[in-house]
Chain A
Amino acid sequence: MLVAILKRTSQAVGSVLAATILVWFILPLAPGDPANRIFIARGINDATEGQLTALREEMGLNLPLLQQFFHWFGSLLHGDLGLSFTTGRPVLQEFLSYLPATLMMLGLALLLSTLAAIILSLVAVYYHDQWPDRLIKLYTGITAAIPTFVFALLALSYVVVGWQVGRVLSEVSWVTALMPAFIIGLDRAGGWIQLLRASLLEEMASGYAFVARSRGASELRILLRHAFPNSLKPLLSAIGLSVGALLGGAPLIEAIFSWPGAGSYLLSALTARDYPVIQAYVLAAALGYVLAAYLVDIAITLLDPRLRGTQT
């Protein structure tokens, strides 16, 4: 057991490290010079070569990449993510101030989509091949075919602008988070319904379901008490995997809804080539992904007595 935990942990640390290293060496390949951007941000459009070199030296950008990385990594171990190129303030502090808004929106989205996926799959399977099932199938087909941002734009133009329901927001609250969360959740739930519906149908056709029927148990009872807990495994894995995707997709949705979260912070950092901020976001996304995978592993183990106990 201890070996398994150690193995799992080293894998987790490994993937976080790999993500940060990869991004560190890929970022400078993108065109655009951070020093130049900083001058533009300060309102100086015609910085001389001398000024640029001086700034690069000041920020350590003239050093070899490897040395820069170790420098950054060294301070990371002390809990220091460096200073933002554009604002000059500590990245960690800035990042943490934007993070709650994003977590709030993504958390709400995760909650909404999980609930929707569970309820709609159960309905679809209970009314298998009848009109509720077909309707739900249509919905999953639509979400699979159309990207999230299209829904977001539609919601923005019709619901927010057209009907004057809600506002395009810069103020953060649970109510205002509902709209972007709903859009993300709507999209996510589609795939999860397909997944959960298929595994529910499989369980409903299994040997123990047949035996339960032979004892006089109702379909609803078999569905809720037996098939549902037995078919959660693929859904849990999908939820775990999607945490990474959600963090990656957050900037787009946040930009559309002008949501002042870490995603918007990342977008402005990307245009400004603000490397420390980008690195911080990648690090956070990798950590979030690894943490989610960890939690899913634990949940799956707890749910299955065959994995929980010893074999006899």
Chain B
Amino acid sequence: MSDPIIACRNLTIRYPDSSPQIRNISFEVAAGECFALVGRSGSGKTTITKALLGLHHSETLIEGEIRFRGKNLSHLDQTGWKRIRGMEIGYVSQNPWSACDPRRPVFDHLREAWHCRGHRTSPSQIIEALERVGVIDAKDKAFSYPHQWSGGMLQRASIAAATAHLPSLVLADEPTSALDSDLASAVFASIKKRSSAVLLVSHDMELVMQNADRVGVLHEGQLVEIMSPKALNTAPHHSATKIFLDALDVGRSQPVKAVKAPIISLENVSVRYQDAADAILKNVNLSIAPGEIIGILGPSGSGKSSLLKLVTGLCKCVSGSVKKSPALERPGAIMPVFQDPSASLPLSWPVWRVVTEPLTASHLKRSSRKRRREIAKAALSEVGLGDLDIDAKAWELSIGQKQRICISRLQLANPELIVADEPTSALDTISCQKIAGLLTRLAEKGTAILIVSHNETLLKRICDRRFQVDPGTKNVSPI
């Protein structure tokens, strides 16, 4: 067997005066191999990625050995790292939009891969790099800004920048979690094409199963097993692996059949941006009944979010009509769940205050602080966070806990309709399962739920009806 591209031996990573985040792990990635690290959020995947780029916090202590093509990187200084980063180790991040400076065209984002090393490039070289990873209309689009790109195309551009110098290893940190499932494999293929070895960090088991040659399971900072994806699926040894895999089976006990009158119905609705000529949605018909879970699937930019805005009343339709039941008129009747729970919580507030915020909406019946704390305690145990300290600040929690706090908060508003925009895409599979379970329980109590997601498996399991937004006709059709 040839020398591995990268080999970690007894790697331990810790902050001073705290227990190690990564404990004594060893793995290697051979040339031509795709090695996947899977595990729950907080299991230490990102810590490893940062250490392999030499971008860990300066006070972090790293023990053990990182060997990259025979060279020991453990004691490399920043100048040495700079020589390796981008040239020999490429990095693809999770969210393509946050990976780009929002004030510069995508062209600049790519050009930087050359310019920051003092290399010259020509515009045609950059356009070529974009075309090589499958960006369509690269010439016209290159000079537009990141916010004007779709996620799939922008992630390809990021891959083109990360692999500009044909690195021998690419670290891909959840490279497809912001993308629709049908785009994910195509985008990932472009990474594999441009690099001889790939270290994939992901909780997208579908992607891992399809692409990884070997899978390492991380659990609380330790690498509990390394095996082929097939073996992982059929014969997992470690209990943590089993729990992780079980969580992939997100399930709904009994689908509710809707016979009640719809609480909201869209009739022949079209939506158009103010200055745009083309409609985003055309002649959409959709109705939602109490207790029903409706799933919306569709490629990025197909108008899914506009549909949600329409339902919540945040945008108006240009033609057709939206009929709402009078129950939706009161404040708090329609509540949203967002993709990024960190962005939808006041992070410096204690948990009890976050959860009971809906109670303060009415000026007439304000609850006392003591009462609010009691209500928070009860509400949290309902979402499985009964053990949580209600005085903990939201920023201390894991992302999965944060999303459960969001659900607990909206429960207290007693909504008739919940509108969820990719509620699980930032979460690992176990948290995803918990959120799905909570939403299902809410639906069984009679709340209508509209979910937009690119997680097809999730929608299949929990939705009563699923629809797809067709990017061509701009219409919504049942699946």
- Where the two chains meet, the residues of A that have a C-beta atom closer than 8 Å to any C-beta of B are 206-208, 210-218, 221, 225-226, 229-230, 303-306, 309-312
Contact = CB atoms under 8 A, between A and B. Distances in A.
A312 B98 CA distance: 17
B82 interface: yes
Given A206-B98, A226-B101, A213 B147 contact: no
A301 to B, nearest CB: 12
Contacts of A210: 55, 93
Given A207-B93, A207-B98, A309-B145, A215 B103 contact: no
Nearest to B94: A207
A216 B103 contact: no
B275 interface: yes
Interface in B339-380: none
Contact of A306 (B53, B85, B147): B147
Given A306-B145, A309-B145, A311-B147, A216 B85 contact: yes
A304 B103 contact: yes
A230 B101 contact: yes
A1 to B, nearest CB: 8
Given A213-B55, A221-B116, A305 B85 contact: no
Contacts of B161: 215
A230 B83 CA distance: 27
B136 to A, nearest CB: 15
Contacts of A208: 98-102
Given A208-B100, A216-B116, A226-B101, A310 B276 contact: yes
B273 interface: yes
Contacts of B95: 207
B273 A214 contact: no
B82 A216 contact: yes
B116 A215 contact: yes
A215 B145 contact: no
B117 interface: yes
Q: Which residue, of A216, A226, A229, A310, has the highest number of chain B Cβ atoms within 10 A?
A: A216
B103 A229 contact: yes
Interface string B106-134: 00000011001100000000000000000
B113 A215 contact: yes
27 contacts: A207-B93, A207-B95, A207-B99, A208-B98, A208-B100, A208-B101, A214-B53, A214-B85, A214-B91, A214-B162, A215-B86, A215-B112, A215-B113, A215-B116, A215-B161, A216-B116, A217-B86, A217-B112, A218-B82, A218-B116, A230-B101, A230-B102, A304-B102, A305-B147, A306-B145, A310-B273, A312-B148
Nearest to B105: A305
Contacts of A306: 102, 145, 147
> Taking chain A's interface residues, is the majority helix, strand, or loop, or is none over half, making it mixed?
helix
A57 to B, nearest CB: 54
B87 interface: yes
Given A230-B101, A230-B103, A215 B147 contact: no
A215 B83 CA distance: 10
A216 B82 CA distance: 5
Nearest to A226: B101
Nearest to B117: A216
A211 B116 contact: no
A309 B273 CA distance: 13
B267 to A, nearest CB: 26
Of A214, A305, A309, the most chain B CB neighbours within 10 A belong to: A214
Interface in B31-60: 53, 55
A217 B116 contact: yes
B103 A211 contact: no
Contacts of B99: 207-208, 211
Interface in B268-287: 273, 275-276
Contacts of B87: 216
A312 B275 CA distance: 10
Contacts of B104: 226
Contact of A215 (B85, B102, B105, B273): B85
B103 A305 contact: yes
Nearest to B99: A211
A268 to B, nearest CB: 48
B158 interface: yes
Nearest to B110: A215
- CB-CB nearest 9 A-B residue pairs: A207-B98, A216-B86, A214-B91, A217-B116, A215-B86, A305-B145, A211-B99, A216-B85, A226-B101
Interface string B66-96: 0000000000000000110111001101010
A311 B273 contact: yes
A212 B98 contact: no
Contacts of B103: 229-230, 303-305
Contact of A211 (B82, B93, B102, B273): B93
B257 to A, nearest CB: 39
A115 B307 CA distance: 47
Nearest to A215: B86
A216 B85 CA distance: 5
A312 B147 CA distance: 8
A214 B51 CA distance: 11
Contacts of A312: 148, 276
A102 to B, nearest CB: 35
B93 A212 contact: no
Contact of B102 (A214, A217, A305, A311): A305
A264 to B, nearest CB: 43
Contacts of B275: 310
A32 to B, nearest CB: 45
Given A214-B85, A230-B103, A306-B145, 15 more contacts: A208-B101, A211-B91, A211-B158, A215-B116, A216-B83, A217-B86, A218-B116, A221-B116, A229-B103, A303-B103, A305-B145, A305-B147, A309-B145, A310-B275, A311-B273
A221 B118 CA distance: 12
A297 to B, nearest CB: 17
A215 B93 contact: no
A111 to B, nearest CB: 24
Nearest to A217: B116
